[in-house]
Chain A
């Protein structure tokens, strides 16, 4: 494969507005044809997917495509001129790489069909993944093919040639060399890449006056400062939740957000199903606004900002000084919690979220030490990120100050979007205007690129060489798996050129970093190198355990009391993170776990406060903080503290391509000040698209919800393990499919944390289209797999339940009975098949489905998506308009598995099939397989006493069954005191 260096600069020489224009531009198509025939056809013929695939199958040698549409109506076959290595048309290839988010890597394996990435799976070898992924990693396929990705080098907004850019870089290097780098500033996002760190080291050594600044809007500054306060040096906490009997989360993002949460979710879940764990863990969460940890906790305490301070202090006193946990202003529930923590010394773990003050974090460290968890429920390791000590907030503030003061002559911004994400107080955009020469390297054309002198397209991680570290420091070396679709430069290349290292390819730079470690001790470097690439991890590269011991001062710290008033809490958008995923329609339309909102990021307000201010969902308010003021709509959020409003970062992108621009509201202008806000209603209304299409319901305990989500407490379970079972009712007839194989699934409600990884995985695997905000408002979303969220209790502090809903594959399926053309039928192995090409769209099946898992193409949504044809999964039919679709149990995976088994003459019943949702799920909620095979997991799980069928009274005999939810509340805490 030619080095990326050569191809990087074949980027188009002018700026295009839209894909439509691209298509009409013969120059581009020709270039694409030379560069990437796949893309050309993808762009010009989005509807001829399979046809295009045939071309790809044949044109991997990147040959031209002279006359590919000439001749017969039935199409053409285009063999390559030479065989591409390792690629057989029709067989998948798998390459290990990693998905890097805010500097931390999640090991992934990318499946290729005929040379094109079509699906992301987790890498079982990677400690942060263990084979699972988060939604962002799953959605990366779409990001890779995104037609809105940056394509053009521009200088002051006008297209510029590569040569001029190179010349500019050369002069930058020259000036830096002359002035020892005075006025040279480099700004990156959080990065853990050893190679980039090495190169930056060389830069700073070569130009002592130059500075490296780091800015990450979703950062853990306070946690890190807390660690420094507690241990005198930065350390990273790596939780070992499989050992934790008692977990206390203080505004914690332990199950979503914190680096390594995918792994943590796995360990956490391993202790949640009483049928499969000896000792079920007990989880407390004290938080102002619901988190995923709080939603699945046994006790969730709605704790406002001030109350939380009091709680932390009281915890400190009681755990460290042994004082009673009953101070004034401290809620009643604290005493039993403290007792519980103390009772599980060495098996307890307290986790604090990023919003907690540094002192609070230090105090939590002290408490965890006091509880003796270190070494069992968590580890302290050396930091993973580059520049660990620097506070991101201070770093960018210092940079902004220098820029305002005109001390910055050259600013290089790598894979970061400060104009959008910098704290509102800094006025970064104005500051940038005062920098004579600024270079922005980014994957997407963004706000920063528009204002920078130079905007340079960045190569996608799948298109270049790089490396990154997981939450425990384990390194993944990432190899390019495709030629750059749109050209582009990698971070290492850019920095390399600042050093005047034109010749060095990214590959060479990464190899240079690892030559000693992998080839060390006279070992064979190439072998070790290939091993590392193939496995996706560098053995033994995890961070060393930190040896630092707790300072005595830590125990005496007390967090600064938060001022009274309305507190505003900033969290990353559950779909867009800090806004970087704005142009990914899968993520834009991904329903938030609790509110089920898509495409928008309103302000979350407690029912109490909303009621008092007479606000309803969608009412716009003016919100003012010390940093700035904006107006945005609100959403009433059950279970939120009265004195807190929650704002999701990342909405309201102004420059993010056709999909991402102007969805939601930009709240960054509010950031950077103290945590207080003033809110007043405006009287305006906007429509917000939630996939819950009715008023939010909070069921009273003992309602019909008990039939849908069967749940009980641990002691009820211990008295009657089969509490979820219903007595067998007589039936007139029940036709069981004949075949020896019986495909079935179980869904373990005890493990589901609502993280949405399965939803995107399903969408990616099965070519499920997105429909856009308007259609979601019309209640026409298409997700085959949805996660239902139910509330029980009171609006102020409800219990939340998650229930993944997918086709139940009923043995007596109501849908099959009523389909006039017989387009949905049962197969002999119990699958409920949907034959798209036979469907005429009477929609009777959906009306008759008690579970409402069927989705209808009211418009040809798939064909409306602005998505290259080659990015679709070619093993699944693309559905046209007017056709019904639904979960198929990934029947295409079943068949490819069966064919492989048949070729190897493996008997039936022993073939292993993993559905997309099952493979992606961090907590192993789903188990799929042949329930007639006594050896299979699904057979074992069906024997669980908790196993129950949803809507059993409908006698549909679903093949998908659920394991009832058991929670482990503390008997000493009654609901009232919570």
Chain B
């Protein structure tokens, strides 16, 4: 118990500090319970609430902001440029009509779906460790979905006309084409965003109430009060809240699955070489869970340290997430194997040519093979280290592997999209795709944008579900 934070009145409005000065966060252990003993309703509430309620942000928060804001500026510049000059600023070309925009979109929506999937699934399954990590997972889900939403718009040739995809009664007496997977996708991402946001907000409602009650300044109390929508914690309210959360969790689970499956149909539904295969939807889903778990770890580990959540996000959580990472990595390895097998088994020369190009592609002044082998290395090989149980407890390793997986999961759609299009059925239309400076700016900008939103969330929202933890203390998981 020595490593539990000492509770003493803080200088700041009599609040409890998250931890005593100079005390380090506990190391991870495989036998950790989901919540270290010694917690009381009061303690957890105080400690979690104290963070959003701080008068001034942490120093590291300011540093983080200073780091990411220029990236957001980059993103805005990129968007402005493409609106002014058109898609010509990207590296797109005649055979490769899709490039970074779609790649980035698939990447982000994958992360979002994966995170939402993990959170919702284990909420339903009632896993104890979900309580500590659920909030971070949902936040990641919502914010990645929001980030991904940028790309389908700016990838259009005439972005300002995107609303033509809505079936509104217009003066042309003309409707969108319901047979197009891209249209399904247009709806998929929107519904996913709405559903996940609702789930996220709803599960925060009681916490908002807690914040409201602990807020010392009127404005904050008002804000959180409004957000709490008058939640006062009566038994009736709790019952309804639980019911709705349960229902929503199921909906989110479905949304996560079908949104990324639909994204996969953009490819499976096309007759294009390298895309036209039925395994796409599950393959994309495996990738989603992989990148989702990776992003939760990538964000969760630092937050655990910085916010002193060492006893609410414990070895058990990391252990579980690493297992999920490993499992999904095995799944996606299977998909890669199937992909290779199918390209041969199809007997279609074009398919084979394209696949060989992906794997060994190298011609005068242009080679692509490293992208494919990058995905294999990052998504299939690295995660295997988690077969070693101790490795799951070494934070640098876990964090580094997660990072690599995220890079690998970006290369995955890259090889799928750009490199398939480089080898079309007619050799006369073969080409090579090069991302332009603006492509990279937009990609990096979107990463900055995500972390910008994340920092805002960390500042304003409880990053661990107060009521979830309190239920844990009460010995109930749901």
Stretch at the interface among A237-245, A458-466, A473-481, A835-843: A835-843
With A852-B429, A882-B157 as contacts: A616 and B364 at CB distance below 8 Å: yes
The answer, yes or no, to whether B162 is at the interface (CB within 8 Å) is yes
For B426, the chain A residues whose CB sits under 8 A away are: 708, 788, 805, 850-852, 951
Max chain A Cβ within 10 angstroms of own Cβ: one of B98, B421, B425: B425
A-contact 0/1 string along B164-185, CB 8 Å cutoff: 1100000010111101111100
Stretch at the interface among B83-91, B196-204, B374-382: B83-91
Do the beta carbons of B364 and A695 come within 8 Å of each other? yes
Q: How far is the CB of A883 from chain B (nearest CB, A)?
A: 6
Do the beta carbons of A847 and B157 come within 8 Å of each other? no
Q: How far is the CB of A614 from chain B (nearest CB, A)?
A: 13
Do the beta carbons of A883 and B430 come within 8 Å of each other? no
What's the Cα separation between A697 and B432 when bound, in Å? 15
Q: Which of B156, B158, B271 meets A954, CB within 8 Å? A: B271
Do the beta carbons of A788 and B183 come within 8 Å of each other? no
With A695-B364, A820-B165, A951-B425 as contacts: A844 and B158 at CB distance below 8 Å: no
With A820-B182, A846-B97 as contacts: A954 and B425 at CB distance below 8 Å: yes
The answer, yes or no, to whether A693 is at the interface (CB within 8 Å) is yes
459-514 of chain A: CB within 8 A of chain B: none
Q: Which residue of B lies closest to A882 (CB)?
A: B157
For B186, the chain A residues whose CB sits under 8 A away are: 820
What's the Cα separation between A694 and B157 when bound, in Å? 26
Classify chain A's interface size.
Answer: 35 or more
Q: How far is the CB of A689 from chain B (nearest CB, A)?
A: 13
Do the beta carbons of A822 and B428 come within 8 Å of each other? no
Do the beta carbons of A821 and B164 come within 8 Å of each other? yes
A-contact 0/1 string along B87-112, CB 8 Å cutoff: 11001111111100000000000000
Q: How far is the CB of B345 from chain A (nearest CB, A)?
A: 16
B-contact 0/1 string along A102-118, CB 8 Å cutoff: 00000000000000000
What's the Cα separation between A858 and B87 when bound, in Å? 6
The answer, yes or no, to whether A692 is at the interface (CB within 8 Å) is yes
For B162, the chain A residues whose CB sits under 8 A away are: 840
What's the Cα separation between A803 and B427 when bound, in Å? 12
Do the beta carbons of B272 and A693 come within 8 Å of each other? no
For B93, the chain A residues whose CB sits under 8 A away are: 693, 778-780
Do the beta carbons of A693 and B95 come within 8 Å of each other? yes
746-787 of chain A: CB within 8 A of chain B: 775, 778-781, 786
Q: How far is the CB of A198 from chain B (nearest CB, A)?
A: 51
Q: How far is the CB of B309 from chain A (nearest CB, A)?
A: 44
Q: Which of A694, A844, A852, A882 meets B182, CB within 8 Å? A: A844
Q: Which of A781, A819, A820, A880 meets B94, CB within 8 Å? A: A781
What's the Cα separation between A883 and B350 when bound, in Å? 28
For A786, the chain B residues whose CB sits under 8 A away are: 428
Q: How far is the CB of B473 from chain A (nearest CB, A)?
A: 50
Q: Which residue of A lies closest to B425 (CB)?
A: A850
Do the beta carbons of A852 and B94 come within 8 Å of each other? yes
For A708, the chain B residues whose CB sits under 8 A away are: 426-427
The answer, yes or no, to whether A973 is at the interface (CB within 8 Å) is no
Do the beta carbons of A819 and B157 come within 8 Å of each other? no
Q: Which residue of B lies closest to A708 (CB)?
A: B426
Do the beta carbons of A850 and B424 come within 8 Å of each other? yes
The answer, yes or no, to whether B57 is at the interface (CB within 8 Å) is no
Q: How far is the CB of A48 from chain B (nearest CB, A)?
A: 20
Do the beta carbons of A856 and B165 come within 8 Å of each other? no
Q: Which residue of A lies closest to B91 (CB)?
A: A778
For A857, the chain B residues whose CB sits under 8 A away are: 86, 157
787-822 of chain A: CB within 8 A of chain B: 788-790, 803, 805, 814, 816-822
For B421, the chain A residues whose CB sits under 8 A away are: 847
What's the Cα separation between A705 and B177 when bound, in Å? 35
The answer, yes or no, to whether A859 is at the interface (CB within 8 Å) is yes
What's the Cα separation between A697 and B98 when bound, in Å? 25
Max chain B Cβ within 10 angstroms of own Cβ: one of A697, A705, A778, A780: A778
For B91, the chain A residues whose CB sits under 8 A away are: 778
Do the beta carbons of A779 and B427 come within 8 Å of each other? no
Q: Beyond A788-B428, A850-B425: 9 further Cβ-contacts under 8 Å?
A: A693-B431, A694-B363, A694-B427, A695-B363, A775-B88, A840-B158, A840-B161, A844-B270, A881-B86
Instruction: List 16 contacting pairs A-B, 8 Å CB cutoff, sorted by A.
Output: A692-B428, A694-B431, A695-B364, A779-B96, A780-B93, A817-B180, A820-B186, A821-B177, A839-B157, A840-B157, A841-B157, A844-B266, A848-B271, A857-B157, A882-B158, A954-B425
Partner-B contacts on A (CB < 8 A): 616-617, 692-695, 697, 704-705, 707-708, 775, 778-781, 786, 788-790, 803, 805, 814, 816-822, 838-844, 846-848, 850-852, 855-860, 880-884, 951, 954
